[in-house]
Amino acid sequence: MPFVTELKTFAALGTGVIGAGWIARALAHGLDVIAWDPAPDTEAALRTRIANAWPALEKQGLAPGASSQRLRFVDSIEECVRDADFIQESAPERLELKCELHARISLAARPDVLIASSTSGLLPSEFYADAVRPERCVVGHPFNPVYLLPLVEVVGGQHTAPQAVQAAIRVYESLGMRPLHVRKEVPGFIADRLLEALWREALHLVNDGVASTGEIDDAIRFGAGLRWSFMGSFLTYTLAGGDAGMRHFMAQFGPALKLPWTHLQAPELTEGLIDAVVEGTAEQQGSRSLAELERYRDDCLLAVLGAIGETKRKHGFDFAE
């Protein structure tokens, strides 16, 4: 049975930061969205999140017919998924909860509809264990803000059909995303494993009194972060190797990997460390509200993405090819 890849109705289960981001992206691409969340007062909070994201989506460009009014909030899992063409679950990261959810979701969904989870680290073979037709179940792990950042990691479990992975990739492409097929079912997938390593080192630097949270963020945003946004690590280091490229870079800087620069284990999260991180980030935030910071972030992302896209067109190439 082929899987549905042409969407009219998008189902979203879980409406926190990630779930709301999926909903905003789907609405911006002209879809009808049905949402469900068991927590109290979530519909009002969701609509506030969508309203805060909508100006950035308008700047990016909306699909014909796109409207934030095409969102409907329902009271049950079954009502949410029954008529959906694609299902995206964004519930909390608890294995038992996800197992229960996907047993109910897959029982109520049409048999040709893909079911995706936004999990950032749980393995699909585990939480799809009780799902009906697990061959159509995948992980679709996005990045915040989901409505602007294009990356989505697509991961299959041991029962996922290869056709389902490819169908999910086509669906995410239709939503303007850049799917990355994670070929092995590994904890943390790809991007979060990289981010986790950086996060651990950042916590060590705070814990050891080397730098404040603001100074660490400056080290990223005025240095490597600028290069990462358009070239990543490996291509950047290829250039660092000069005319001889990556082989020379590995020969020259490879021995530094043996030096005790980094701590692979995370520091203990003592109250002192937590206080230092909280106080540092509060100082960075200042008097600005989270909504103001989100709008600032969104405008910066649009500017960076627009500049990268224009420069790629100017030079006539795409590093993803």
Four-CA torsion 316, 318, 319, 320, nearest 10 degrees: -160
Domain boundaries, the chain: 9-182, 192-286
Percentage of the chain lying above the pLDDT 70 cut: 98
pLDDT for the residue numbered 320: 54
> From edge to edge, which strands make up the β-sheet containing 86-89?
71-73, 32-36, 9-13, 86-89, 114-117, 137-141, 151-156, 178-182
Write out the two tokens for 283: 């100082």
Instruction: Write the DSSP string, 111-136.
Output: TT-EEEE--SSS-HHHHTTT-SSGGG
Over 80: is that where the pLDDT of 127 sits? yes
Instruction: Write the DSSP string, 74-87.
Output: -S-HHHHHTT-SEE
Percentage of the chain lying above the pLDDT 90 cut: 78
pLDDT for the residue numbered 121: 86
Q: Which neighbouring-strand residues pair with 151?
A: 178
CA–CA gap between residue 302 and residue 307 (Å, rounded): 8
Greater pLDDT, 254 or 47: 47
pLDDT tens-digit map of 145-204:
999 999 999 999 999 999 999 999 999 999 999 999 999 999 999 999 999 999 999 999
The predicted model gives 62-81 an average pLDDT of: 98
Question: 34 phi and psi, to 5 degrees?
Answer: -115, 125
Give the helix ranges, DSSP H, for the chain: 17-28, 42-60, 77-81, 95-108, 124-127, 162-174, 191-207, 213-219, 225-231, 234-240, 245-253, 271-285, 290-315
pLDDT for the residue numbered 53: 96
CA–CA gap between residue 138 and residue 167 (Å, rounded): 10
Residue indicated by tokens 């060590």 = 204
Four-CA torsion 241, 246, 251, 254, nearest 10 degrees: 100
Residue indicated by tokens 């070239």 = 231
Over 50: is that where the pLDDT of 321 sits? no
Which residue type, as a one-letter code, is found at position 210?
Answer: V
pLDDT for the residue numbered 319: 60
CA–CA gap between residue 13 and residue 80 (Å, rounded): 8
- Average pLDDT over the chain, rounded to whole? 93
The predicted model gives 81-106 an average pLDDT of: 97
Write out the two tokens for 201: 């080192």
pLDDT for the residue numbered 155: 98
Fold of 192-286: N-(1-d-carboxylethyl)-l-norvaline Dehydrogenase; domain 2 (1.10.1040)
Which residue type, as a one-letter code, is found at position 60?
Answer: Q
pLDDT tens-digit map of 195-229:
999 999 999 999 999 999 999 999 999 999 999 99
pLDDT for the residue numbered 259: 76
CA–CA gap between residue 215 and residue 296 (Å, rounded): 20
The predicted model gives 251-260 an average pLDDT of: 81
Greater pLDDT, 319 or 305: 305
pLDDT for the residue numbered 81: 98
The predicted model gives 287-314 an average pLDDT of: 90
pLDDT for the residue numbered 250: 82
Neighbours of 211 (CB within 10 A): 15
Write out the two tokens for 190: 């790809």
- Please tell me the CATH code under which domain 9-182 is placed: 3.40.50.720
Contact between residue 230 and residue 311 where contact means Cβ atoms under 8 Å apart = yes
Torsion sign over Cα 57, 61, 62, 63? negative
